[in-house]
Amino acid sequence: MKKILVCCNSGVSTSLLVNKLEASIAATGAELEVSALPLAQAIDELAASDVVLLAPQVGFAADNLKEATQAPVAVIDPDAYARADTEAILQQINELLA
């Protein structure tokens, strides 16, 4: 099971996105576990994550997180994030895991 960490400012908007992602993951049968945390708490979970995705509003932290983890770090496309386009986000996850 691959662990995906999604980070944002407070975790509220991203938790809604994670709920939709979990439904999409269940529908595809993918072996992914997704969790959402505020950026301030993400450092504690970096070592346990296989991919770290950042909400667009915290994309500024990407370089710092890349230095702090071996996992791929990427910013979610703003349009995909705003529309909660789980198909596009799952494609991004799969590309980062490849």
- pLDDT by residue for the chain (98 residues), tens only, comes to 999 999 998 767 788 889 999 999 999 899 999 999 998 888 889 999 999 999 999 999 999 999 999 999 999 999 999 999 999 999 999 999 99
> Are 34 and 90 in contact, with CB atoms under 8 Å apart?
no
The reply to whether 8 belongs to the active site is yes
Say if residue 55 is exposed, middle or buried (CB neighbours under 10 Å; 0-12, 13-18, 19+): buried
Locate tokens 């386009």: which residue?
85
For residue 11, the model assigns a pLDDT of 65
For residue 10, the model assigns a pLDDT of 79
Give CA 90 to chain center in angstroms: 9
> Are 32 and 4 in contact, with CB atoms under 8 Å apart?
yes
Q: Which CATH architecture has domain 2-97?
A: 3-Layer(aba) Sandwich (3.40)
Q: What angle do CA 88, 93, 97 make, to 5 degrees?
A: 145
Q: Where are the domains of the chain?
A: 2-97
Catalytic residue among 8, 51, 54, 71: 8
Rounded-to-integer distance, Cα 18 and Cα 45, Å: 16
